[in-house]
Amino acid sequence: MDEYTLEVPDMTCEGYEIVITGAVRPIEGVGTVDADAAVGRVTIHGDPSAKAEARDEIERAGYDVLE
């Protein structure tokens, strides 16, 4: 599995980690999701082809995504 990281500076607490993880985990091709509010990053292990959909789902949940 590959690993990629998305910068999510608006993620500032554990509640946001839970929301973002819940939005990304069901995506086909996503293995594990590590949302870390302390650094504002979401690290995803899985198929890199799911990256765009992961970004879209995080944005649909109301958070800006930087790369």
Record the pTM: 0.93
Pure H helices in 1-67: 14-24, 51-60
Q: Which residues of 15-32 are buried (b: 16+ CB within 10 A; e: fewer)?
A: ebbebbeebbbebeebee
The C-alpha angle 1, 51, 38, rounded to 5 degrees, equals: 90
pLDDT score of 67: 72
Strand partners, 33: 44
Residue linked to tokens 């899985």: 46
Express each pLDDT in 13-67 by its tens digit. 999 999 999 999 999 999 999 999 999 999 999 999 999 999 999 999 999 999 7
